[in-house]
Structure 1
Amino acid sequence: MLSVYVDLGLGLVVSFLLLSLLVSGLNEAFVRLLSIRSKFLWAYLRDTMDGSDPHGRSWLPARVRDVFTALPFVRDPRPRHSDQPAPAEPGALPEPGARAGDSVIKLLYERVREIDHAKRGRTSIANIPPARFSVAMMELAAGEDGDVDRFLAKLKAIDSPLHGHLKAIWETAQRDLDRFRQGVESWFDGEMQRLSMLYRRYVKWVVTALGLVVTLLFTMDGLEYGKTLLRDNAFRASVTAVAEAGPAAYEELKASCSGGDPVPCVTDTLSEPALVKMMGQALVSVSIPERGDPEIHWNGGLWWDRVTTPSHWPGFLLTYVALLFGAPFWWDVFRRVTGIKPKRSGSSG
């Protein structure tokens, strides 16, 4: 009896794991297609180094709704891609009267663009190591004859928000260049952690929306799926009983197959596990016949009947909540149920 519940639990875990992986894959495809990581980074850098856009709006919206609407589609904060290496001599900050809206960003991009490659004409850089950022700041200060005070004064003159951060670090470092570089590195590392928290909050909402779409697209009723697993397990047990009991149990199996030949009935059931049956109720499904090529089926009528049937909604809710736990959670549960141990690095000797 225990094996029945183990089979049930394992079947549910595998289904939730596969659907969670699908949600994660769709999210990653969405992020890569729209270059979300890179836009997050450069929106933050524009706010920090050059301030708001010409209309007085922050490049990195604080509200998740604005991030969804503005950042991926309306405004692209990334600099234009350049295939040229960084110039030997860093550029100097412009005079206040000649300052453009992205002056400091352009200078920073000049110092880090060696690691860049184009993506629809824009930079694809999605991560700047804190050590590289601090070196870039030192290089920009070198463009002002190595005078950090003069560099900070020009940042203040062009009204760059970066001035306040670097000024505090410079005073804390007691005007020591090496300590100033380390301070800039530590500050930028902390800012990247804060940015990562905002990005995770954004991704959480994306995964929440994708989880709902996947649940409804596949009309995955978790309760119905569990019942199907138990029914298939009972059917396999009856087939085994026929094999062991002989002709006496054959008639009972024949009756369970609507009085027809039980051989095709058994073959169809055993070759179509519960997960395949559930996936076959998606809006679009694929079947593989005994002969010929795979076939694609449009199940619009069946799909709509399932979505609009209230008795399926508790099962949909169960599946949706399960997907919110994420693929790492279900992979860990799968390892615990099956006894798979994680691979350990290093030798034991």
Structure 2
Amino acid sequence: MLSVYVDLALGLVVSFLLLSLLVSGLNEAFVRVLAIRSKFLWAYLRDTMDGAGAAGSWLPARVRDVFTRLPFLHDPRPRYNALPAPAEAGDLPEPQGKADDSMINLLYERVREIDHAKRGRTSIADIPPGRFAVALMELAAGEDGDVERFLAKLKAMNSPLYGPLKGVWESAQRDLDRFRQGVETWFDGEMQRLSMLYRRYVKWVIAVLGLLVTLLFTMDGFEYAKTLLRDNAFRASVTAVSEAGPDAYSELKARCTGADPVHCVSETMSQPALVKMLGHALVSVSIPEQGDPGVEWNGGVWWDRLVTPSHWPGFLLTYVALLFGAPFWWDVLRRLTGIRSRR
């Protein structure tokens, strides 16, 4: 009896793991195609260096903005430039300067050596804190190396960067080396804060993708568990027939009525419960005994399952399970099977 529950647990865990991996793969494809990581970074840098009043600079704070403005409507990244950074940093823009002379473009000018060959916008999604600190020191060097003058220009530009840098400069007691280290530490903390915002965004994306995958496959968690138990009982009946004779084939007879028992058993054994459940998806793939695999449209069956209230609790179970993510279900599978992870 214990093996039945172990099989049930393993079947559920493996199915949730596979669907979670699908959700994670879709999320990663979504992030890469739309360059979400890079947009998050440069949206933050535009707000931090040029302020919310500058053209095209904003950081999404509401869910609507995250799902509409950041991925699709606006691109806060600078234009890609394949040329190496000039020997000297450009002068800071005047308070009423053009958007092309903004702080964000001056920063990109100093860090574009780490950019990838990409058309259009930059693909930089991560700036090491040390590299950012050196870039700021180079901008300060453009003001004749006078940090006080550099800070004064930031204040005149009404740049939000002035406050943090002023605090770091005072804490460093006007020592350039300590100032650089302080800027590096401050930027590292800001990147951690930005990572928390990004993870919050990813949770929303995964929640939407998990719902779509659940409804696309109409994966009823309760029905799947019941199918696993029925398959286990069927296999037990087949084993009983082979060991105890024809008197113990009630389940086999019920499932294979009017069919060749050998073919029926072979066909049933080759279709595990997970394959049966995924066959209820909007589009399913069938692999016949002979010939090429075929793609089937299950629109009618899919819609009937979708609008049947008795399936909704199972859909909810599957959806909640997918929210835990693939790492969680992989860890559960390792604990159940005793698989040890290599480090």
TM-score (norm 1): 0.95
Identity of aligned residues (%): 80
Decide whether aligned partners of structure 1 residues 251 and 38 sit closer, same or farther in structure 2, where only a CA change above 3 A counts. closer
- Report the counterpart of residue 200 of structure 2 in structure 1: 201
After superposition, the C-alpha distances for 1:134-164 in whole angstroms (9 at most, x for unaligned) are 0111111111111111111111122211111
Asked if the contact 2:224–2:273 (Cα under 8 Å) also holds between the matched residues in 1, the reply is: yes
Instruction: Please say if 1:147 is aligned against 2:146.
Output: yes
After superposition, the C-alpha distances for 1:195-250 in whole angstroms (9 at most, x for unaligned) are 11111111111111111100000000000000000000111111111111234445
Decide whether aligned partners of structure 1 residues 251 and 199 sit closer, same or farther in structure 2, where only a CA change above 3 A counts. closer
Alpha-carbon distance in structure 1 between the residues aligned to 2:331 and 2:18? 13
Asked if the contact 2:50–2:57 (Cα under 8 Å) also holds between the matched residues in 1, the reply is: no
- Report the counterpart of residue 284 of structure 1 in structure 2: 283
- Report the counterpart of residue 110 of structure 2 in structure 1: 111
State the Cα distance separating 1:256 from its structure 2 match: 4.0
Q: Secondary structure at the match of 1:258?
A: coil
Q: Secondary structure at the match of 1:52?
A: coil
Alpha-carbon distance in structure 2 between the residues aligned to 1:47 and 1:246? 77
State the Cα distance separating 1:115 from its structure 2 match: 1.2
| Deviating more after overlay: 97-106 vs 9-18 | 97-106
- Report the counterpart of residue 26 of structure 1 in structure 2: 26
State the Cα distance separating 1:252 from its structure 2 match: 6.8
State the Cα distance separating 1:254 from its structure 2 match: 3.4
- Report the counterpart of residue 131 of structure 2 in structure 1: 132
State the Cα distance separating 1:117 from its structure 2 match: 2.1
Asked if the contact 2:57–2:76 (Cα under 8 Å) also holds between the matched residues in 1, the reply is: no
- Report the counterpart of residue 268 of structure 1 in structure 2: 267
State the Cα distance separating 1:94 from its structure 2 match: 2.6
Alpha-carbon distance in structure 1 between the residues aligned to 2:163 and 2:38? 25
Q: Secondary structure at the match of 1:297?
A: strand
- Report the counterpart of residue 170 of structure 1 in structure 2: 169
Asked if the contact 2:237–2:250 (Cα under 8 Å) also holds between the matched residues in 1, the reply is: no
The code of the aligned residue for 2:122 comes to T
Asked if the contact 1:257–1:265 (Cα under 8 Å) also holds between the matched residues in 2, the reply is: yes
Alpha-carbon distance in structure 1 between the residues aligned to 2:19 and 2:96? 56
State the Cα distance separating 1:330 from its structure 2 match: 0.3
Structure 1 stretches lacking a partner, 5+ long: 345-349
What pairs with 1:61-72 in structure 2 (closer than 5 Å)?
A: 61-72=60-71
State the Cα distance separating 1:59 from its structure 2 match: 1.0
Structure 2 stretches lacking a partner, 5+ long: none
Alpha-carbon distance in structure 1 between the residues aligned to 2:174 and 2:289? 78
State the Cα distance separating 1:58 from its structure 2 match: 5.4
Alpha-carbon distance in structure 1 between the residues aligned to 2:233 and 2:250? 17
Alpha-carbon distance in structure 2 between the residues aligned to 1:148 and 1:330? 52
Decide whether aligned partners of structure 1 residues 8 and 98 sit closer, same or farther in structure 2, where only a CA change above 3 A counts. closer
State the Cα distance separating 1:41 from its structure 2 match: 0.3
Aligned length: 343
Decide whether aligned partners of structure 1 residues 148 and 255 sit closer, same or farther in structure 2, where only a CA change above 3 A counts. closer
Q: Secondary structure at the match of 2:245?
A: helix
Asked if the contact 1:254–1:261 (Cα under 8 Å) also holds between the matched residues in 2, the reply is: no
- Report the counterpart of residue 308 of structure 1 in structure 2: 307
- Report the counterpart of residue 339 of structure 1 in structure 2: 338
